[in-house]
Amino acid sequence: MLKNILSLFLQDNCPLCERATSQEICSYCQKQLKSCQLKDTKKFWQGNLPLFVWGEYDGKLKQAIAAFKYDKHPKIGELLGFWLGETWQNYSLIKSKIAPLIVPIPIHKTKEKIRGFNQSDIIARGFCQVTKYPLNTKGLIRIRQTKAMFSLTVEEKEKNIKGAFQLGKSLQNHSLSRPILLVDDIYTTGTTVKEAARILRNKGINVLGVLAVSTPRHLY
């Protein structure tokens, strides 16, 4: 009886529903989150910059990403990255015999200082826990702050992100034999990841595609 009482005091509240839980997210919310997973996660793995996306950016998943980024719950991002990695391993989408290097999309150092972390770094760490792929969190650097993208036209977004990235020192001597997978939290129009891929490809680096936790419904 005493052990059961003590366990209640040692539990935290789930950041998504306030239920007591010993996990970062309670089992009820985990079940709801998994219901957001796309039926065909490899649907967009095609074209010049293939995309592998885990779930729909709506409902519980949208709430979880907001709690992760803005309420500072990095463990949520790590869990989402873990699920992304588990799902990725269900497919054989790349032919390279060399494990790809995982490079997260960076945010500007000012925003990272305020938030305390880069959300794509956290997701990538969870992904790499599962896949055992090598990770380089400084492969790309964001050298310029950009405007919020949601209210911009496609042309304005492209102009806004142009020149925002540069190659990190750790990739300047990157072996061209090891390809790269980019990681981001939300894929909308693809403007940001396309610019990141352009910077890498201009240096002769092979970018296999993009991994993302979520995408809005209108894209599929």
Long-range contacts of 17-26 (CB under 8 A, 24+ apart): 24/73, 24/75, 24/76, 24/79, 25/64, 25/76, 25/79
Q: Which residue carries 């919020």 as its tokens?
A: 148
pLDDT tens digit sequence for 78-120: 999 999 999 999 998 998 788 999 999 999 999 999 999 999 9
From CA 36, how far away is CA 29, in angstroms rounded?
A: 11
Q: d(Cα 158, Cα 191) in Å, to the nearest integer? A: 6
Residue 1 corresponds to which tokens in the numbers above?
């009886």
Domain-wise residue ranges, the chain: 40-219
Whether the CB-CB separation of 52 and 42 falls below 8 Å is answered with: yes
Selection from 107, 113, 119 nearest residue 146 by Cα: 107
pTM of the predicted protein model: 0.90
pLDDT digits (tens, 9 = 90+) for 144-154: 887 676 667 77
Q: How many residues does the chain have?
A: 220
Task: Categorize the per-residue pLDDT at 220 as very low, low, confident or very high, splitting at 50, 70 and 90.
Answer: low
- 89's enclosing H/E stretch is none
Please provide the CATH number assigned to the domain covering 40-219.
Answer: 3.40.50
Could you read off the pLDDT of 148-203 as tens digits, one per residue? 766 677 788 888 789 899 999 888 776 667 899 999 999 999 999 999 999 999 99
Could you tell me the pLDDT band of residue 6, with boundaries at 50, 70 and 90?
A: very low
